[in-house]
Amino acid sequence: MTTPALQTPALQTFGLRKSFGALVVANDIEFRLEPGARHALIGPNGAGKTTFINLITGRLTPSSGRILLGGEDITELSQAQRVKRGLGRTFQINTLFKGLSVLENVSLAVGEREGQAGNMFRLAGSNRAVIEEAYGLLQRLRIADDALLPVKELPYGKQRLVEIAIALGLKPSVLLLDEPAAGVPSAETSIILDIIEQLPGDIAVLIIEHDMDLVFRFARKITVLVQGGILVEGPPTEIARDARVREVYLGERHHV
Amino acid sequence: MFDWLPSSAKIPPVDRVVRSHYLRPVELVPWVLAVGAYFAFDSYLPLGSQILIMILFALSVDLVMGYAGIVTLGQAAFFGVGAYTAGIYAVHVTGEPLSGLVLGGLAAALVGFVSGLVILRTHGLTLLMLTLAVASLLQEAANKASFITGGADGLQGMSIDPILGLFRFDLFGKTAYLYCLVVLFLVWVFARLLVHSPFGQTLTGIRENVTRMHAIGSPVRRRLLTIYTIAAGLAGIAGALLAQTTQFVGLTVLTFERSGEIVIMLVFGGIGRLYGAFVGAAFYMIAQDQLAKIDPIFWNFWIGLLLVLIVMFARGGILGLLDQAWRMLRRRR
């Protein structure tokens, strides 16, 4: 294995910028996600974290700058094309197929990845492998008991796991987790953290999260985003000690 | 949802999903009824043909609206294109019905594809208005082009040859009924496979959550354009059937009333269920026929009242009600 500095980053942005008129929501972001990374993106509300994710995934078009996935420029590609190249994401607010069963939710993602999804002339169940793979994922995430329940009948915490299961069904090389524990009662947060910690090591994971316990337990590197720009970047211990981070992120009351 | 079904409790989830796409015996009931009706109500066969044509038309609306979630009030555009194409073909080229039917479907599919390229870039109200606009444009075009369409007088002088040179269209509508039935059956085989195919599943996904479909790498717009084109073609076939069996095409095939009425039929039956088209169209056409006899002046009022009741108390339509009743029965046991 080569030294980290020589490795092609799993994901990289150069001067990524997005502005709505005079409002700059992403300010020339230079970002690097290493292969197999466990990287957290933190910052106060409105810092532009979700905007950053939406730029990377193609939901938003950048005003300027480039995005590289595994060394390949994906700036001009559609959302779907980026997904096909290994970019997976979850949503801060559950974005699921509510009327479909849990198993069908994940099967859709697996089928789409396998390129089976455009087929009109065979029954959807005729490719068992797709559904079996989806079911295997549910078992790994310990929601297999609810496989046949419509997603809308699931408690919110379990719906968060379906979010992750769908993303994993895409077998991504880069996984963007947008506040996976948002809206989950604190008693159940540990279940989600367990799942995230058990993610395959070859997936580069970027997590946005407000829950600092989760961030510091999970991340080996933290990027702090403030007002659309990167304030500071480094290992968790450094970030925890950084005076600027304390000021903007933790607020004035921490000044004694 | 499935927990209380003791008989199937032991079937593993993967098999349950696989089997959920298999053909169930109850899905053959419409065909038994349709064949039975041929013998039981032989004096009602012309109405029967109309019902079969409306089922086919409603089926096309269900594919775009019930499955893909594209809300349209302009499906008559494709019905009309199919009807006029088959009609003009019969007047000017040949009275051979099968080629006219195919041509009507293809012409409508082409119009669906081209208009879909524009319409499907929009969402919500804009999309709805554009579907309406396409139908209005075509209606006005058909009105102005009276040298070929007959304009407000309608297209006359069609004569349809026997099907395959063997089955002559008769005065009692027997051939017409069986012709419509066979065409509808073939379309159903196709549509049944379609909605239960992986492609059909992704349409449901787009309806349920389009944002997520983008995020799992689905080419959403291409899928929507595909189903919009297919459904337009099926509506065109329905229109062509009407033209051939009545040997007349009027401007009413393109009206907003026709687009709206077919949606109402689908709502009556239950949208997004494939068989809602069958139940809704049959119910609507028979109710209309009977109500017009009982109350020739106000029958429309009763249809409206029924619609209000269905929309308020049975969002799943008649089939939705049957579903609920069935579940309550199972639960009580």
Alpha-carbon distance A114 to nearest alpha carbon in chain B (angstroms) = 11
Cα–Cα distance between B225 and B206 in angstroms, integer?
12
Give the CA radius of gyration of chain B: 20
Q: Are A180 and A90 in contact (CB under 8 A)?
A: yes
Among B5, B8, B14, most A C-beta atoms within 10 A, so best to mutate, is: B14
Residues of B whose CB is below 8 A from A109: 216
Nearest CB to B216 within list A104, A112, A150: A112
Could you tell me which residues are beta bridge partners of residue A13?
A31, A67
pLDDT tens, per residue, chain A with 256 residues: 445 556 899 999 999 999 998 899 999 999 999 999 999 999 888 889 999 999 999 999 999 999 999 999 999 999 999 999 999 999 999 999 999 999 999 999 999 999 888 888 888 888 889 999 999 999 999 999 999 999 999 999 899 999 999 999 999 999 999 999 888 888 888 888 889 989 999 999 999 988 888 888 899 999 999 989 999 999 999 988 888 888 876 665 544 4
Does B197 sit within 8 Å of A121, measured CB to CB?
A: yes
Among B17, B121, B194, B230, most A C-beta atoms within 10 A, so best to mutate, is: B17
Maximum distance among all alpha carbons in chain B?
67
DSSP letter, residue B18: H
Q: Are A89 and A57 in contact (CB under 8 A)?
A: yes
Taking only the tens place, the pLDDT of each residue in B157-194 is 888 889 998 898 888 899 999 999 999 999 999 999 99
Nearest CB to B217 within list A59, A113, A149: A113
Cα→Cα distances A81→A112, A188, B31, B148, Å: 12, 34, 44, 47
Cα–Cα distance between B38 and B33 in angstroms, integer?
9
CB pairs under 8 A between A and B: 131
| ipTM value for the complex | 0.89
Cα–Cα distance between B269 and B287 in angstroms, integer?
13
Q: Are B61 and B263 in contact (CB under 8 A)?
A: yes
Secondary structure of chain B: what % helix, strand, coil (to 5)? 75, 0, 25
Cα–Cα distance between B330 and B333 in angstroms, integer?
5
Q: Smallest Cα–Cα separation from B49: which of B219, B194, B171?
A: B171
> What's the half-sphere exposure (Cβ side, CA atoms, 13 Å) at B257?
4
Could you tell me which residues are beta bridge partners of residue A232?
A224
pLDDT tens, per residue, chain B with 333 residues: 444 444 445 678 898 888 889 999 999 999 999 999 999 998 899 999 999 999 999 999 999 999 999 999 999 999 999 999 999 999 999 999 999 999 999 999 999 999 999 999 999 999 999 999 999 999 999 999 999 898 888 998 888 889 998 898 888 899 999 999 999 999 999 999 999 999 999 999 999 999 999 999 999 999 999 999 999 999 999 999 999 999 999 999 999 999 999 999 999 999 999 999 999 999 999 999 998 888 888 888 888 998 999 989 888 999 999 999 998 998 876
Cα–Cα distance between A239 and A216 in angstroms, integer?
10
Alpha-carbon distance A93 to nearest alpha carbon in chain B (angstroms) = 11
In the three-class reduction of DSSP (H, G, I as helix; E, B as strand; rest coil), residue B65 is classed as helix
Cα–Cα distance between B282 and B37 in angstroms, integer?
12
Residues 6+ apart with CB under 8 A from B89: B99, B100, B103, B104
Residues of A whose CB is below 8 A from B204: 97, 99-100
Tokens of A133: 């793979």
Nearest CB to B208 within list A80, A98, A128: A98
What is the rounded end-to-end Cα distance, in angstroms, of chain A? 46
